[in-house]
């Protein structure tokens, strides 16, 4: 920038000297005056676009003579970051958030993440169900998870065993001379029949 400013200054100085000379030499003055540009019609041109991390530059240019009259920096925009969930965490596995830049020209654009961060696993949501001991099975506690297929079975103590009534002779079978006897479990209703030898 300093270089340009110095150049402009030099040119102005030369122009001043020239104009003084022209005034002093009336013969050529009219012709030279017509060539001199007053830079009244100017335009700003962006010579380098700013990015998220770097400044850009624009110049003020005379439309008539093309002379660069001013140089200005354009502020860098900075990242325009957005964070989204890239992977949902499960009960046992961590998830992931990804942060990227919304500016289309940025190197941290979509899927070239500025940063990623782990999301801790959610952990199981337990539900426990208790099944009372029966004649054939001990007390059982089944623990499962509301959100996944996790299941764990825990048994406590022993099965109760059947609560049998006394053996009863089957009268029908007596007539058929093939005597049978029966007993029933008063708890679960299981029936057991055997031949009497």
C-alpha 70/C-alpha 43 separation (Å) is 10
* Closer to Zn ion by Cβ: residue 8 or 57: 8
**Binding track over 35-74 against Zn ion, x by CB under 5 A:** --x-x------------x---------x-xx-x-------
Q: How far is the CB of 187 from Zn ion (least distance, A)?
A: 4
Three-state secondary structure call for residue 41:
coil
Q: Which of 8, 22, 74, 185 binds Zn ion (CB under 5 A)?
A: 185
Q: Does 158 bind Zn ion (CB under 5 A)?
A: no
Number of helical H runs and strand E runs in the chain: 3, 12
**Binding track over 6-35 against Zn ion, x by CB under 5 A:** ------------------------------
Q: Does 162 bind Zn ion (CB under 5 A)?
A: yes
Residues 6+ apart with CB under 8 A from 12: none
C-alpha 100/C-alpha 111 separation (Å) is 7
Give me the DSSP letters along 57-97. EEEEEETTT--EEEEEEE------EEEEEEE---SSS-EEE
* Closer to Zn ion by Cβ: residue 25 or 186: 186
Binding to Zn ion (CB under 5 A) within 110-129 occurs at: 124
CB 140 within 8 A of CB 157: no
Binding site for Zn ion (CB under 5 A): 37, 39, 52, 62, 64-65, 67, 79, 91, 101, 103, 106, 124, 135, 145, 147-148, 150, 162, 185, 187-188, 190
């Amino acid at each position: 920038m300093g270089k340009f400013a110095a150049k402009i200054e030099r040119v102005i100085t030369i122009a001043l000297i020239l104009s003084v000379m022209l005034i002093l030499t009336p013969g050529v003055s009219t012709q030279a005056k017509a060539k001199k540009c007053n830079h009244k019609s100017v335009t700003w041109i962006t010579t380098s676009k700013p990015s998220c991390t770097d400044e850009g530059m624009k110049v003020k240019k005379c439309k008539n003579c093309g002379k660069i009259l001013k140089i200005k920096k354009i502020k860098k925009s900075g990242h325009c970051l957005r964070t989204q969930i890239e992977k949902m965490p499960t009960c046992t596995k961590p998830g992931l958030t990804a942060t990227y830049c919304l500016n289309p020209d940025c190197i941290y654009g979509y899927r070239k993440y500025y940063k990623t961060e782990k999301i801790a696993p959610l952990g199981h949501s337990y539900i426990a169900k208790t099944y009372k001991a029966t004649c054939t099975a001990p007390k059982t506690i089944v623990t499962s998870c509301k959100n996944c297929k996790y299941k764990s079975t825990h048994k406590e103590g022993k099965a109760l065993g059947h609560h049998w009534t006394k053996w009863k002779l089957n009268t029908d079978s007596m007539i058929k001379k093939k005597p049978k006897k029966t007993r029933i479990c008063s708890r679960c209703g299981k029936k057991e029949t055997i031949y009497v030898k």
